[in-house]
């Protein structure tokens, strides 16, 4: 089954958060919104707007089209220095 655009953005955001070691509170601070707003968007109770998508892409240093393409493309384009280290990943902490 094909993912909707909203599902692709939510999946890409979750994958990027995991890859960078960020949590919802970290992302909320970076985007200047509340953790509750991140949670609502990630749960599908609210939609990520195009402006939000641009802010997400800018935060992660990727193109907005890569974010919209889904988690594989978004993660493939994430710069290596943004990825948490294997040691940090094992401890569950961001770089």
Tokens representing residue 11 in the block: 């999946």
DSSP assignments along 21-73, one per residue: T--HHHHHHHHTS-HHHHHHHHHTSSPPPHHHHHHHHHHHTS-HHHHHH-HHH
Structural domain for 54, as ranges = 5-78
Report the alpha-carbon distance of residue 75 to residue 20 in Å, rounded.
10
pLDDT tens per residue across span 33-86 = 999 999 999 999 999 999 999 999 999 999 999 999 999 999 999 999 999 976
- Residue 42 belongs to a domain with what CATH number? 1.10.260.40
Count of structural domains, the chain: 1
> Is the whole model's pTM more than 0.75, yes or no?
yes
């Amino acid at each position: 089954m094909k993912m909707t655009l909203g599902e692709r953005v939510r999946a890409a955001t979750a994958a990027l958060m995991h890859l960078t070691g960020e949590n919802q509170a970290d992302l909320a601070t970076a985007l200047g919104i509340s953790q509750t707003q991140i949670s609502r968007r990630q749960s599908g109770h609210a939609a990520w707007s195009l402006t939000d998508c641009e802010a997400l892409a800018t935060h992660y240093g990727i193109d907005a089209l890569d974010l919209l393409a889904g988690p594989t493309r978004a993660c493939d384009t994430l710069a290596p220095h943004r990825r948490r280290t294997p040691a940090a990943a094992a401890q569950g902490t961001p770089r």
